[in-house]
Amino acid sequence: MNAANTSFMILSSILVLFMTPGLAFFYGGLVSKRNVVNTMLSVFIMTGVAIVLWIMIGYSLSFSGDIGGVIGTVKNFFMNGIDLTSLTATKIPTGIFSVFEMMFAIITPALFVGAVVGRIKFNFLLVFLILWSIIIYYPMVHLVWSPHGILYGLGVLDFAGGTVVHINAGVTAFVLSAFLGKRVKFGDIPHTHYNLPWVLLGATILWIGWYGFNAGSALGVNNIAAQATITTTMSTGTAMVTWMILDMIISGKPTLVGVCTGTLCGLVGITPACGFVTIAGSFWIGMVSTFASYFFVNYLKDRIGVDDALDAFGCHGVSGIVGSIATGLFATKSVNPIVAHNGAFYGGSWHQITVQIIATLATIIFVAIAASVIIKLLSLVMPMRVDRKEEKLGLDKGEHGEEVDYTVDMSDNLDAYRSDLNLYSKEFRGQLGGLDPNKDPHLH
């Protein structure tokens, strides 16, 4: 075992795990007060579900054996028969490699929860998450990251999950939104964000966790991990500023939600490219990803008419697609010797960008079809959407019987809670001794 690499991978795994509660705060801050608990629970529950699934069959289907270059086998059920102490190429134990990959299986489905908040039944979402992991996510991991995978063999460059994570989650978000239909109160979200400080907190936690996501994908302490750290930082900073400038030019005001959204787009865009491109490359990827996502969210989304509540497709799908294709333009052997064909901007032919486009399109088509089939079949046995009454009430009360604010809402029962004087009359008795309204006509 290489102690430095193994320590780094344990830390990276913890950082990626940290992203999921960060995402819960990010999404929870963006939704209306009626759906905060439901949104945060829907994101966070994936932590437990994905851990159990990954140990049972996920690792085996992703990395053990091979069926047609598409998926592995179930021969290592519950990790049985896998030597957890055997070392990988970077001298880390297989057990730690498995834990690192498990964290990706947690965060990826949590991403598309943002598209369907406020209108999907929790039970439906839970079963969908399980089927989606088995039918879509594990095959995507095998296709792109297993040496036996078809797209791996094609030579696709996806350092930390452009296709496997972001395009996958983004397209799933789009398909789910399309099947669900628009919210009853469609259009009220921009004015009813529950908690903007949570949005900033969530975006910050995601950014911090993303270093585990991107640098950790080097699977060791090396120059590639260092490069991924630098390019991730540059792309994200560029994207953050780009979205703010676009807001200032187009709407006249910079917004906190906009800056946090731009930050996310920069992180997404650089993910497939971070271990293959220069700092200059990461600057352009961050900028172009944000341009694409900004114009999709603000102009194309309404014309398409699919109600993706928190722009899971607009951020993860669009920026992921741009980043995946841009990798074919900016990848260079000078950064990473594993790059067989330099990107088009680095003296290479159009070979790599062609491969990137094929892999990107293959991901979009496979995920769209498979997600549609899962939704159609699942809809036959259980309802997908809550009824109008529950949607207006809010899923916090309707699905969970909980409220995000635990303080007493005075407005619900004005007679009982006319004022603090009624509530805390004993405490006020001393100060108000001479102010008895029955004795002083001026106080009536």
87 phi, psi to nearest 5 deg: -100, 145
Contact present, 385 and 181 (Cβ < 8 Å): yes
The class that CATH gives domain 3-396 is: mainly alpha
Beta partners for 93? 87
Q: What is the pLDDT along the chain (444 residues), one digit of tens a residue?
A: 999 999 999 999 999 999 999 999 999 999 999 999 999 999 999 999 999 999 999 999 999 999 999 999 999 999 999 999 999 999 999 999 999 999 999 999 999 999 999 999 999 999 999 999 999 999 999 999 999 999 999 999 999 999 999 999 999 999 999 999 988 865 544 457 899 999 999 999 999 999 999 999 999 999 999 999 999 999 999 999 999 999 999 999 999 999 999 999 999 999 999 999 999 999 999 999 999 999 999 999 989 989 999 999 999 999 999 999 999 999 999 999 999 999 999 988 899 999 999 999 999 999 999 999 999 999 999 999 999 999 989 999 999 999 998 654 545 555 554 555 566 666 656 555 555 555 555 544
Map residue 416 onto helix, strand or coil. coil
Taking the domains of the chain in order of start, what are their residue ranges?
3-396
CA dist., res. 399 & res. 42, Å (int): 11
Q: Kindly tell me the number of DSSP H helices and DSSP E strands found in the chain.
A: 20, 0
Q: How many CB atoms within 10 Å of residue 303?
A: 7
By CB neighbour count within 10 A (0-12 exposed, 13-18 middle, 19+ buried), where does 337 fall? exposed
Helix residue ranges, H only, 251-340: 256-270, 279-295, 301-304, 312, 318-330
Other beta carbons less than 10 A from residue 233's beta carbon: 21
Residue 90's SS3 state is coil
